[in-house]
């Protein structure tokens, strides 16, 4: 790009030299040099912008990867929480079942104790004894 601008400027200077004064040629050359310098600065700025864009793209890709990893972790946590909730429900059901069986066992023991007490007092009552 620099060469193309340089050649164009030189061609213009040669054409001007044929019909212009030395002062005009020098002004044209200075203007061409300024244009070439500005083009070089613009090219450098474009390269810097391109590098920044590449870096931004890399960072965006990293952010997307991190977001995907976070999403997967959240999904795993959700699955774990669901499994824990199911386990808690099963444990609650088993606890209720054990409590019911314990209550039944207490009732059975109390009934047997009551029956045993009546069975012991029956012979005494028959003999005329008191409790």
**Structure confidence at residue 80 (pLDDT):** 97
Query: Is the residue at 127 inside a domain?
Result: no
Give domain status of residue 123, yes or no. no
Report DSSP letters for the chain, one per residue.
-HHHHHHHHHHHHHHHHHHS-HHHHHHHHHHHHHHHHHHHHHHHHHHHHHHHHHHHHHHHHHHHHHHHHHHHHHHHHHHHHHHHHHHHHHHHHHHHHHHHHHHHHHHHHHHHHHHHHHHHHHHHHHHT---
Residue 60 structural domain:
2-95
Task: Give a yes or no: residue 111 inside a domain.
Answer: no
Q: What domain count does the chain have?
A: 1
List the pLDDT tens digit at each of the 131 positions of the chain. 556 565 655 565 555 455 568 898 899 999 999 999 999 999 999 999 999 999 999 999 999 999 999 999 999 999 999 999 999 999 999 999 999 999 999 999 999 988 887 766 655 655 566 65
Does 114 fall in a domain?
Answer: no
Q: Tell me if 33 is assigned to some domain.
A: yes
């Amino acid at each position: 790009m620099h060469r193309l601008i340089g050649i164009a400027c030189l061609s213009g200077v040669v054409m001007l030299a044929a019909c212009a004064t030395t002062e005009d040629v020098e002004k044209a050359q200075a203007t061409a040099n300024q244009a070439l310098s500005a083009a070089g600065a613009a090219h450098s700025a474009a390269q810097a912008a391109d590098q920044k864009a590449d870096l931004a793209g890399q960072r965006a890709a990293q952010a997307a990867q991190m977001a995907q990893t976070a999403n997967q972790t959240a999904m795993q946590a959700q699955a774990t929480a669901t499994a824990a909730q199911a386990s808690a429900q099963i444990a609650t059901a088993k606890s209720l079942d054990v409590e019911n069986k314990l209550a039944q066992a207490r009732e059975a023991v109390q009934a047997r104790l009551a029956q045993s007490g009546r069975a012991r007092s029956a012979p005494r009552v028959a003999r005329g004894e008191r409790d």
